[in-house]
Amino acid sequence: MARGRRRSFIRRWYDAGLRSRDPYDRFFCFWIALVAAAQRRRTLTGIPFREIYADREKVLEYFEGNKSIIYDILLKNKDKMSFLASRKGARHGHPVLDTRSLRLRRVLSDFSAHYNQGVPLPDDALVEAVAEIINKIRINLFQGMEREDLELLERVTPLLQEILGRCEFAETRE
């Protein structure tokens, strides 16, 4: 996809997310815009395209490449971060979200401990944790979210919207 067309593709999905009132549709519109933005960033920075490259890896790279902007957004959204940190998975009670991955459980536990107990966590680890949370929500949506997860979706989607808005469409970038 040509660079200009990819930007308009990102914009169309972002705008569709802004218009939608359905929480699932909103999240997925922003998710599609995020993955396209992540691939666009890879193209602009000269990272070669690999067909097998997972969306999760693209999103993690995108968050890493925009970490100062995203960290600023996290600081401004302490209420959403506190909500996420105090949340437990609906089925197994893991911090934030249930997951089988021990590595992801550690990331989410550290994130939770940072906000709930004031345990220091580097800025890049906080940004990575939010990228992982957004990715895990996307996975859970495909597998069927629990009713309790709707509030999670409603809290995280505006955060995703703000990240995309600032990283992709802000007139001035930091």
Domain containing residue 112: 3-169
Judge whether 50 lies within some domain: yes
Would you give the end-to-end CA distance of the chain in angstroms? 27
Judge whether 26 lies within some domain: yes
- pLDDT on residue 54: 87
Judge whether 174 lies within some domain: no
- pLDDT on residue 90: 80
pTM over 0.85: yes
Structure tokens at 115: 């906000």
Please give the tally of structural domains in the chain.
1
- pLDDT on residue 148: 67
Structure tokens at 93: 């009670």
- pLDDT on residue 172: 42
- pLDDT on residue 3: 58
> Hey, what long-range contacts does 44-49 have (CB within 8 A, 24 or more apart)?
44/3
- pLDDT on residue 1: 47
Q: Which residue has the tokens 């509030």?
A: 151
Phi/psi of residue 53, nearest 5 degrees: -65, 120
Mean pLDDT by 10 residues, the chain (174 residues): 75 97 94 94 78 83 96 96 92 89 96 96 97 92 74 92 94 42
Residues with Cβ within 8 Å of residue 38, at least 6 apart in sequence: 55, 58, 59, 61, 62
- pLDDT on residue 152: 87
Judge whether 16 lies within some domain: yes
